[in-house]
Chain A
Amino acid sequence: MRPGGSILSHVLRHLVLIAGLVIMLAPFVWMVSTSLKPPNEIFSTKLSLLPTNWAAVENYTKAFTKVPLLRYLLNGVIVTGGIFLLQLMVSLPAAYALAKLRFKGRDILFTMVLIGLMIPAQAPAIPRYVMLYEVGLLDTYAALILPFVFSAFGIFLMRQFFKTVPDDLMHAARIDGLGEFEILWRIMLPLAMPAMLAFGVISIVSHWNDFFWPLIVIQTGDLATPPLGTLFFRNEEAGSDFGPLMAGTVVITAPLVLLFLAAQRRFIEGVTLTGMKG
Chain B
Amino acid sequence: MTTPAAHDATPAERRAAQALVSPAWLMFVVLLAGPTLAVFVLSLTDWQLGAPTLNFIGLGNYEQLFADRVFWKSFGNTAVYCLVVVPGSVFLGLGLALLIEGATFGRAFYRAAYFLPVTSTLIAMAVVWEFLLHPSVGLINVMLEQVGIHGGDWLKNPSRALFTLAGIGIWQSAGLNMVLFMAGLKSIPADLYEAVEIDGAASAWERFRCVTWPMLGPATLFVTVVSGIRSFQVFDTVEVLTKGGPNKSTEVLLYTMYTEAFNFFRTGFGAAITVVFLLVVLALTLLQVKAGEKRTHYG
> A198 contacts which chain B residues (CB < 8 A)?
none
Q: Is the CB of A1 within 8 A of B28?
A: no
Instruction: Identify the closest chain B residue to A150 (Cβ).
Output: B27
Known: A109-B21, A212-B254. A21 touches B114 (CB 8 A): yes
In residues 121-158 of chain A, which contact B (Cβ within 8 Å)?
Answer: 122-131, 133, 146-150, 152, 155
> A122 contacts which chain B residues (CB < 8 A)?
233, 235, 254, 257, 274, 277
Stretch of B61-69, B80-88, B137-145 contacting A (4+ beta carbons < 8 Å)? B137-145
Once bound together, how far apart are the Cα atoms of A9 and B103, in whole Å? 10
Answer whether residue B9 sits at the interface, using C-beta atoms and an 8 A cutoff: yes
Once bound together, how far apart are the Cα atoms of A111 and B34, in whole Å? 16
Q: Is the CB of A123 within 8 A of B24?
A: no
* Shortest distance between the CB of A73 and any CB in chain B (Å): 11
A102: which of B3, B127, B233, B261 is its contact (CB, 8 Å)? Answer: B3
> A161 contacts which chain B residues (CB < 8 A)?
none
What is the size, in residues, of chain B's interface with A at 8 Å between Cβ atoms?
Answer: 109
Q: Is the CB of B4 within 8 A of A171?
A: no
Once bound together, how far apart are the Cα atoms of A203 and B182, in whole Å? 23
Answer whether residue B200 sits at the interface, using C-beta atoms and an 8 A cutoff: no
What is the size, in residues, of chain A's interface with B at 8 Å between Cβ atoms?
Answer: 109
Stretch of B71-79, B94-102, B156-164 contacting A (4+ beta carbons < 8 Å)? B94-102
Q: Is the CB of A118 within 8 A of B282?
A: yes
What is the total of A-B residue contacts with beta carbons within 8 Å? 314
Known: A122-B257, A163-B299. A131 touches B35 (CB 8 A): yes
Mark B263-299 against chain A: 1 for CB-CB distance below 8 A, else 0. 0000100110010011001100110010000000011
Q: Is the CB of B111 within 8 A of A268?
A: yes
> B278 contacts which chain A residues (CB < 8 A)?
119-120, 123
Q: Is the CB of A179 within 8 A of B114?
A: no
B190: which of A2, A106, A170 is its contact (CB, 8 Å)? Answer: A2
Q: Is the CB of A268 within 8 A of B99?
A: no
Q: Is the CB of A171 within 8 A of B34?
A: no
Q: Is the CB of A268 within 8 A of B115?
A: yes
> B271 contacts which chain A residues (CB < 8 A)?
126
* Shortest distance between the CB of A267 and any CB in chain B (Å): 6
Once bound together, how far apart are the Cα atoms of A24 and B172, in whole Å? 9
Answer whether residue B196 sits at the interface, using C-beta atoms and an 8 A cutoff: no
Q: Is the CB of A47 within 8 A of B16?
A: no
B204: which of A9, A20, A163, A242 is its contact (CB, 8 Å)? Answer: A9
Once bound together, how far apart are the Cα atoms of A267 and B179, in whole Å? 11
Known: A45-B145, A149-B31, A261-B112. A216 touches B14 (CB 8 A): no
A103: which of B17, B27, B185 is its contact (CB, 8 Å)? Answer: B17
Q: Is the CB of B14 within 8 A of A27?
A: no
Once bound together, how far apart are the Cα atoms of A14 and B100, in whole Å? 9
Answer whether residue B198 sits at the interface, using C-beta atoms and an 8 A cutoff: no
Once bound together, how far apart are the Cα atoms of A99 and B111, in whole Å? 34
Once bound together, how far apart are the Cα atoms of A128 and B33, in whole Å? 11
Answer whether residue A31 sits at the interface, using C-beta atoms and an 8 A cutoff: yes
Question: Can you list 10 A-B pairs with a CB-CB distance of less than 8 A?
Answer: A21-B113, A34-B131, A43-B137, A102-B17, A103-B13, A106-B4, A112-B28, A125-B35, A209-B122, A275-B230
Q: 5 shortest A-B CB distances, which residue pairs? A: A124-B35, A94-B24, A103-B17, A127-B35, A227-B123
